[in-house]
Amino acid sequence: MAYPANYRYTKEHEWISLDGKIGTIGITDYAQNSLGDIVYVDVPKVGDSVTANNSFGSVESVKAVSDLFSPVSGTVSAVNEELKTSPDKINEAPHETWIIKVELADTADFEKLLDAAAYEKFVSEETGA
């Protein structure tokens, strides 16, 4: 699956897209693939603050839990309610299924992240492929 060029990525396998000050965050195809069928997503509440590189929630498969790390610092402006009942959306369309939206404290955070090419390279190194 292609990694969208307008997104930025973390080494913990989150993606983020930016629209004005609002960042939209999800997990990458690589992440959903290594987790397997996602059964539950634990997310913060709207209004909670998140900090770059810190955990803001978790995704669970049947036999594993994986922390979600925020790519940026800011305030949660929306959470994807649909994931409560349909966490499988992440497996189906990881790059279209967002988890939270964050109002960035500093949009410069965005540009510090990996771009698609760099992330793809990172993933291929990690898998040894």
Partner 1 sequence: MRYLPKSPAEREQMLKAIGAQAIDDLFAIIPAEYRLTRDLDVPRQQGESEIVSYFKAAGQKNATDYASFLGAGCYRHYRPVVIDSLVQRGEFLTSYTPYQAEITQGTLQAIFEFQTMIAELTGMDVANASMYDGSTGAAEAMLMAMRVTGRQKAVVASTVHPEYREVLATYLRYRDLPTAEIGYVADTGRVDLEALAAAVTEETAAVLVQSPNFFGVIEDIPAIAEIAHKKGALLIVSIAEAISLGIVRPPVEADIVSMEAQSFGVALSYGGPFCGVIAAKEQYLRQMPGRLAGQTVDGDGNRGFVLTLSTREQHIRREKATSNICTNQALVALMATIFLTVYGKEGVRELAEHNLAKAAYTAKALSAQPGAKLLFKDSPRFHEFVLQTQEPAEQWTQRLLDEKIVGGLGLGRWYPELKNATLWCATEVIARETIDHAAKVLAAAPVEA
Partner 2 sequence: MAATVEQIERKTLGKVRPHQTQNEGLVFEKSAAGKRGYKLPPLDVPEVDAKAALGPAYRVEKAGLPELSEIEIIRHFTRLSTWNYAIDLGMYPLGSCTMKYNPRVNEYVARIEGLADAHPYRPESLAQGVLEVIDLLQRCLIEITGMDTITLQPAAGAHGEFTGILLVRAWHESRGNARRKIIIPDSAHGTNPATAAICGYQVENLKSNAQGGIDLEALERQVDEDTAALMLTNPSTLGVFENEIHKIADILHAKGALLYMDGANMNALVGKVRPGDFGVDVMHLNLHKTFSTPHGGGGPGSGPVACKKFLEPFLPTPVLVKKDGELHWEYNRPQTVGRVRAFYGNTGMFIRALAYILANGPDGLRQTTEDAVLNANYIRKNLEDLYELPYKTPSMHEVVFSDKRQAAKGVKTGDIAKRLIDYGFHPYTVSFPLIVHGALMIEPTESESLEELDLFIEAMRSIAKEVEESPDLVKSAPHSTRVSRLDEVQAARKPVLRWRHENK
Which residues of the chain form contacts with partner 2 (CB under 8 A)? 37, 39-40, 60, 62, 87-88
Q: Rounded CA gap, 10 and 69, in Å?
A: 8
Please report whether residue 46 would count as binding partner 1 according to CB under 8 A: no
Cα radius of gyration (the chain): 14
Give residues with Cβ within 8 angstroms of 26, minimum separation 6: 14, 15, 90, 94, 95, 97, 98, 99
Entry field: residues in the chain: 129
Please report whether residue 63 would count as binding partner 1 according to CB under 8 A: yes
Question: Shortest distance, CB of residue 23 to partner 1, whole angstroms?
Answer: 25
Number of residues that bind partner 1 (CB under 8 A): 8
Please report whether residue 60 would count as binding partner 1 according to CB under 8 A: yes
Q: Scanning the structure block, which residue is given the tokens 């965005």?
A: 110
Q: Which of 11, 12, 34, 42 binds partner 1 (CB under 8 A)?
A: 42
Q: Rounded CA gap, 24 and 99, in Å?
A: 8
Closest to partner 1 by CB, 63 vs 128, is 63
Binding positions for partner 1, rule: CB under 8 A: 40, 42, 60-65
